Amino acid sequence: MTPSAIGAVLFDKDGTLFDFGATWDGWAARTLRDLADGDEVVLQDLATVACFDLEAARFRPDSPIIAGTNREAAQCLAKALPARRVEDIERHLMLTSSVAPLAPAVALVPLLSLLAQSGLKLGVMTNDTEFGALAHLRQAGVSDMFDFVAGFDSGYGAKPAPDPLLA
């Protein structure tokens, strides 16, 4: 395939544009503590269902939250928070994650500028919310560089299904 045959590049957000561990491990440690509201037993239960290592303050590779949607993460955490509604947990995750300190995987502006200058359309598809994706791209100063941004809740489906690629 020649470079001219490529018309667009679709990025994943977390783990591609932003370093996953450097961005999300610290946020998760704070969020789990926040959700536990000072209860050490609940904190341990949250860490267990999230497959989060509290001592190392990082997700284990088998965490269902790493590749899941925001909704799936809320459903996972709800197992340790039976008195909380999944919708409330989901909203909490969306709002707190939208202001998480980001760690770009590379210098995004030069990379995206180079791709755009070569005539490529740029997009982002994430299992995060559209709200969160747009907030992160704005925070990184690159939101205006994308022609397409979709979260799992944008109406195109979630990864790894192919539907978002057809949007």
User: Are the beta carbons of 146 and 123 closer than 8 angstroms?
Assistant: yes
Q: Does one domain contain both 35 and 52?
A: yes
Residues 51 and 93 in one domain: yes
Model confidence band, residue 153 (pLDDT cutoffs 50, 70, 90): very high
- Of 48, 41, 45, 75, whose CA–CA distance to 62 is shortest? 48
CA distances for 130 relative to 13, 19, 97, 150, angstroms: 11, 19, 12, 5
Model confidence over 70-86: pLDDT tens digits?
999 999 999 999 999 99
Q: 88 and 107 share a domain?
A: no
Note the pTM of the prediction, 2 decimals.
0.89
Residues 52 and 13 in one domain: no
Same domain, 8 and 73: no
- Give the phi and the psi of residue 54 in degrees, each rounded to 5: -65, -35
What range defines the domain where residue 151 resides?
Answer: 3-18+102-166
**The predicted structure's pLDDT at residue 4:** 65
Identify whether residues 58 and 125 lie together within a single domain: no
Considering the domain architecture, whether residues 79 and 114 belong to the same structural domain is answered as no
**68 and 112, same domain (yes or no):** no
